[in-house]
Each structure stands twice: as structure tokens, then as C-alpha cells.
Amino acid sequence: MTDPRDDTRFIERVAGVLGEPEVLDEEFEQRVMALVREDARPWWRRSRTLTVSPLGGLALAAGFAGIVTLGALDAARIIGTPAPVVVAAPAAPPAPDTVHLVRFVIAAPGASQVALVGDFNGWTRGATVLAPVGEGDLWSVSVPLAPGRHEYAFVVDGERWVTDPLAVRHTDDFGTESSVLRVARGVTPGV
């Protein structure tokens, strides 16, 4: 049987490590409040697309490898979400061929499946599936991307093509719209 004093020492050491504080980035509150404000609007006044991108601007300005994404599922149910910018955290300055982890987040309440398609996965619908967060109003996925220009879009419930209203749009020769993301080289990680 273990000596209770041993247990106490053991717990103190483990809890000491696990109890170290964690601090979320300063933009966390902005993201939450943008969500809350959009959610609090009467549904008929909600945006089909959210045009404010506090982190998007910051991300570009800071040269982060990240993207802010938002999709509009349904005008009556959409919740705008300026999403977190992410977050590969290399310890040293990245080499030119560094791959960055880019987090895509979309608000799609009521959706049963959300996929990300883009040139990085060959526009394959089942290749990159977003995971529901909590009860499933938000969906997210992190994707490793090389520096450079990427085109992408979301596919909601296997059929609804949703571009990112916060990103530059591109229309291909067949008239299909997608969004454009540029992953910078030599980024400073912003966790």
C-alpha cells in the first residue's frame, strides 16, 4: 500500500506542472465578442457574410501564416466567426520550405458535415473534413501548407459550396469561385 505522504508528494509535483498558467492570445476576446455580437442580432439582420476580420488584418500585417475563414451556411442561421490565426510554432526562424499549420474555422450551425477543398488537397471533397467544436456550431481543421498562394473553399453537407468572404476571391475559367490564401515565408509564429 502506498504511503499517503508519498501520494501527497507525487500529486504536488504532478499538479505543480499541470497547474502552470496558460494565457490565450490577446485576440481571443475579440473573436469571442465578434461571435457573440453576430449571434445576438436578430436573424433577419444577420449578415450573410461577416465583413469584419480583426485577425485577418492582423495576420496579414504581421505576416503570420494563418487564415481567418468564415462561411455562410444559411442567412437565417449563420454565425459570423473571425477565427483564430494559427499556429505552427517553429522554435527557429523557418527555412524557405517550411510548412505552416493553418487553422480554418467556419460557423455552420446545423451542418452535418463540412469539408475543406483546395489546390492543396486536389479539390477532393472527402480529403479534409472539419471537426465540430463543442455542440457543432463551429467547425475547424488545421492543414499543413507550404508558403505561397493557395485556393480553397468549404463544402457544407456535401453540396453547398461556400467561399470565404474574408479572403480575396478568385473565379476560374468555368465561373467557379474560390478563396485565395497566401502563406508567407519567414513568418513569426503567433501562438
Partner 1 sequence: MDMTEGVPDAALVLATRHGDARAFATLVHRYRDRHARFAIRLLGSRDDAEDVLQSVFLRAHRNIGACQDPARFGAWLHRIVVNECRTFATRRGAREARLVRDDTVLAATIDESGSGMPDPALRAEIQRALATLPHDLREAFLLKHVEELNYDEMAEVTGAGVSALKMRVKRAIEQLREQLEGVMHD
Cross-strand bridge partners of residue 170: 178
Closer to partner 1 at the Cβ: 126 or 149? 126
The minimum distance between CB 22 and partner 1, in angstroms, equals: 4
Q: Helix (H, G, I), strand (E, B), or coil: what is residue 6?
A: helix
Closer to partner 1 at the Cβ: 79 or 178? 79
Closer to partner 1 at the Cβ: 32 or 75? 32
The site for partner 1 (CB under 8 A) is made up of 2, 6-7, 9-11, 13-24, 28-29, 31-33, 35-37, 39-40, 79, 81, 84, 86-87, 89, 91, 103, 105, 131-135, 137-138, 140, 142, 191
| Residue of 150, 124, 178, 129 whose CA lies nearest to 65 | 150
The minimum distance between CB 17 and partner 1, in angstroms, equals: 5
The minimum distance between CB 155 and partner 1, in angstroms, equals: 18
Q: Helix (H, G, I), strand (E, B), or coil: what is residue 4?
A: helix
Strands 138-145 and 168-171: unpaired
DSSP one-letter string for 7-62: HHHHHHHHHHHHTS-----TTHHHHHHHHHHHHHS-GGGS-SS----HHHHHHHHH
Closer to partner 1 at the Cβ: 30 or 180? 30
The minimum distance between CB 28 and partner 1, in angstroms, equals: 6
Closer to partner 1 at the Cβ: 73 or 151? 73
The minimum distance between CB 154 and partner 1, in angstroms, equals: 16
The rounded distance, in Å, linking the Cα atoms of 167 and 150 is: 11
